[in-house]
Amino acid sequence: MVIQASRNLSSIADNDKFSLKHEEIGRPLYFDAQATTPMDPRVLDAMLPYLVSFHGNPHSRTHTYGWESESAVEKAREQVANLIGADPKEIIFTSGATESNNISVKGVAHFYAPRKKHIVTTQIEHKCVLDSCRALEGEGFKITYLPVGPNGIINLQQLEEALTPETSLVSIMTVNNEIGVKQPIADIGAICKSKKVFFHTDAAQALGKIPLDVNKMNIDLMSISGHKIYGPKGVGALFIRRRPRVRVEPLQSGGGQERGMRSGTVPTPLVVGLGAACELAQRDMKYDHAWMEKLSQRFLDKIYSKLSHVIRNGDPEQTYPGCVNLSFAYVEGESLLMALKDVALSSGSACTSASLEPSYVLRAIGTDEDLAHSSIRFGLGRFTTLEEVEYTAEKTIRHVERLREMSPLWEMVQEGVDIKTIKWSQH
């Protein structure tokens, strides 16, 4: 079989000189870092011994195998805590940010009900937070969904006015997964503390990318994901403050692991990977952020220099530079995605990509429906190169120009027609 395969490869080389059709067999460039990140090889190195040799259950207290695994889990707990300025005892391991968000929103709501039955969140939260809130509404809880401005940032005065003596929790994400906007987390935390309301933030897109300190920012609960910071999939964490103590009602029953808040055997290899990813992120954060700024600026300069009618969604300043969400007017986003088949991109969140509806995040910031349909999210990561950015920008420019040439609307705009003033007849 090996000999046959090598003959096939040599025949391709001899006859076709690796023509374009064979190059296309290769994998596309990866520009979807908000959906997931590749595992850092250094993380895999840390995990391997616990996948093979040190395979004990960390909750087995009677032999060496269990003690080895428990020691590794506690080291990882410390590594996660160090990244956010927490005490290791405040870190609970989960299966990911979705579970952490569910425990935070539903757990706090159920524990402090019926005395407090009001929760405040925003219209641009991750789907799992919004769906958790809708589930609570079905149970009789009152939910306030704060609007955001055209830049994607909440109004702090509106937040303060929304808080009542019945409010148990405010849940607002740190960095948005679709448009990369950063919320004023420290200011939100200060308001919540002054009103004696618990503050939860979904930091899946922010952890390890921007500095976070749960004490300085007055954060009471924080959701963390492993695969967003070059760690393994299937593992995450939840920071739950001990002083003043935050109580949550657990979602699942079992052996009482993780201080009774998340029963189930802790997966040692995955947790070790999360810890290693957090340690690397803490060490490389400044370098990584500077690299993201350089890549995104190079990409935007190239796009803006060749294309008009391109809108960056979200605040241009208060944003994470590795998430660039652009709307290309008079171009259908799905058509552009199909044209850019050699670049792995997204038109929105991977968690809601099955829907053909325009992004609810873009609708919340007031984006026109046609522009919302023309948006593409370019996700840059630690391993993205300048050459990949140049290539992607050039391909994007070429295909946007080609698709616009096919658009009768673009032709009208070029002739000076104001499309918004046209009254289209219906047949």
Sign of the CA dihedral with 65 first, then 71, 76, and 77 last:
positive
In this structure, what DSSP letter does residue 57 have?
-
Quick check: 362 and 298 in contact, CB under 8 A?
no
Residue with the two structure tokens 């026109």: 368
CA-to-CA distance for 240 and 235, rounded, in angstroms? 17
CB atoms within 10 A of CB 262: 24
Kindly tell me the sign of the dihedral angle through the C-alpha atoms of 126, 284, 151, 402: negative
- For this structure, is 278 an active site residue? no
- Cite the DSSP H helix spans in 254-307: 268-306
Catalytic site residue from 133, 192, 278, 351:
351
How far is 204 from 16, CA to CA, in rounded Å? 46
Which pair of structure tokens corresponds to residue 407? 């658009």
β-bridge pairing 167-171 and 198-202: parallel
User: Which residues participate in catalysis according to the annotation?
Assistant: 351
